[in-house]
Amino acid sequence: MNKPTKITSLSIAVLSLVFSMSVSLRAQQSRDLGVGIVDASREVVPVVVQSQDSETLGILKTAFNIHGRYRVVTSVQQASFIINVQPIGTSAATLKISSAREHVEQVRGASKRNAVLNAVDRAIYKTSGMRGFFGGKIAYVGETGRGMEIYYRDFLFGEGQRLTSHGVEAVRPRWSPDGNYIVYTSYLSGFPNIRRIDLRAQRSEVMVNFKGTNTSARYSPDGSRMAVVLTGPGNADVYVGSNLARGLKRVVNSDGLEATPCWSSDGRELVFASDRNGGLALYRGPAFGGQFSHISTQISRYCAEPDWNHVNSDLVAFTAAVGSQFQIAVYSFSQRKSEFLSNEPGDAIQPCWLNDGRHMIYTWRNGSSERIVLFDTITKRRSVLSPSGLGKVSQASFLPPQR
């Protein structure tokens, strides 16, 4: 393994695949959320947002407008809830929700902006019972000159930083569940190896450096294990080892090429893409090795980049070819069928489920533009998250808010 190097002198390249899925998680009964009685089956809830701070007010309007569950209105008479957020100092905010009853609490964060985003998530939970995601972070690949570098930012692409700067390819970043690390594939050594960024120590180090290609590193949901794809012995096969990529054991061994394994929510199974039977297709099987079965998506002869919904394990999102383009589709194990979710001009690729099981983010590629999009699988609303000024942005990985 190579000696760790500082992030400011890093070079990394990222490879990302696409899958996205839509799932209806609406409750069918009214529930008491501690603020008022809310009919959770309603798809759009009108809200008034308020703040004396102009930046905070802008965040509130953006978040509740793009979520899909809410509609920002100006009239208090039209609103089901009045959501008021006032920042306090540099790392806190007061949240007040008014309806039939009033709820007030103080929310903290790593910064003023983060506290406000956390307050948005608390308001979403108190008014809908759903998990919020605005306090989370997005790791992604940004193209800068000849290189592809790793970055992270908050969910609305505000605060964040560049993590690598070597001018080579760095691809497919993935968060550890605790948010302390990001693993990715780097060409810094001239061939693909797997590196890990330690965000606390601000350094990058080689984790997997075998002969051949080392790619597609992904932590298990509890952070104790890691799945990778290696080509050292021959074909590209899936291996599983510790979270330090030690004790790697080949769990998928076929005559085809395997790619992009993803974990079930309980860490017992994997779904991955393989061309073992010709066209690229999806397969499912035990993470400790054994028999893997073909997932008959029946929607395309090119199905890749799966992402398993950890809230609703019945659903797997993936990228599917449609003619000469790609769109996000979702497969239901119980119904044994797939459907397309996205309908982008250009391509929709690299899906990534959010922590509420309802939303996802993916890369929208149109001509020379690549941007990150938020997609609500219930209302089919899509909102572009990454500003055009950031240039090409792709291969997003989501870290839920850390409580």
Cα gap 352→359, rounded to integer Å: 9
Domain end (from 128, 159, 175) = 128
Are residue 10 and residue 82 in the same domain, yes or no? no
pLDDT in tens, 326-364: 999 999 999 999 999 999 999 999 999 999 999 999 999
Q: How many CB atoms lie within 10 A of CB 316?
A: 27
| 123 and 144 belong to one structural domain | no
Do 163 and 276 belong to one domain?
Answer: yes
CB 321 within 8 Å of CB 301: yes
Token couple for 289 = 């090795």
Radius of gyration of the CA atoms of the chain, in A: 21
- Phi–psi pair at 339, nearest 5 degrees: -150, 150
Contact status, residue 315 vs residue 336, Cβ threshold 8 Å: no
User: C-alpha distances in angstroms, 144 versus 170, 176, 365?
Assistant: 11, 25, 17
Distance CA 122, CA 120 (A): 5
Structure tokens at 170: 């760095």
Identify which of 391, 357, 388, 367 has the alpha carbon closest to the alpha carbon of residue 24: 357
- Establish if 59 belongs to a structural domain: yes
Whole-angstrom distance, CA of residue 117 vs CA of residue 132: 9
- Cα(385)–Cα(367) distance, integer angstroms: 18
Half-sphere exposure of 172 (CA within 13 A, CB side): 25
What's the CATH number where 53 sits? 3.30.160
Residue 27 lies in a domain: no
Helix (H) or strand (E) holding 62: helix 54-66
Look at residue 216 and tell me if it is in a domain: yes
Query: Do 155 and 80 belong to one domain?
Result: no
Q: How many domains does the chain have?
A: 2
- Tell me, yes or no, whether 307 and 283 share the same domain: yes
What DSSP element (H or E) covers 121?
helix 112-128
Burial of 335 (0-12, 13-18, 19+ CB in 10 A): exposed
Q: Are residues 158 and 13 in the same domain?
A: yes
225 and 102 share one domain: no
Does 157 map to a domain? yes
Residues 224 and 92 in one domain: no
This prediction's pTM? 0.89
119 and 71 housed in the same domain: yes
Output the six-digit token pair for 241.
């080892």
Question: Looking at 98, 128, 158, which one is the last position of a domain?
Answer: 128
Domain shared by 16 and 39, yes or no: no
CA pair distance 287, 270, nearest whole angstrom: 5
**What does the pLDDT read at residue 42?**
52
The boundaries of the domain holding residue 36 are 32-128
Dig out the tokens for 339 from the structure: 């459907």
Q: For 31, phi and psi rounded to 5 degrees?
A: -135, 150
Q: Is residue 168 located within the same domain as residue 315?
A: yes
What is the Cα–Cα distance from 27 to 25, expressed in whole angstroms? 6
Strand 193-198 and strand 237-242: pairing? Answer: unpaired
The parts of the chain modelled with pLDDT lower than 50 are 1-41
Q: What is the per-residue pLDDT for 291?
A: 93
First vs last Cα of the chain: how many Å apart? Answer: 34
The strand pair at 181-186 and 193-198 is best described as: antiparallel
Domain end residue (candidates: 103, 128, 153): 128
In sequence order, which residues have a C-beta less than 8 Å from that of residue 181 and are 6 or more positions away? 175, 196, 197, 198, 199
39 in a domain, yes or no?
Answer: yes
CATH number of 210's domain: 2.120.10.30
20: amino acid identity, one letter: S
Distance between CA atoms of 232 and 243, rounded to whole angstroms? Answer: 20
Please tell me whether residues 161 and 94 are part of one structural domain: no
Whether 122 maps to a domain, the answer reads yes
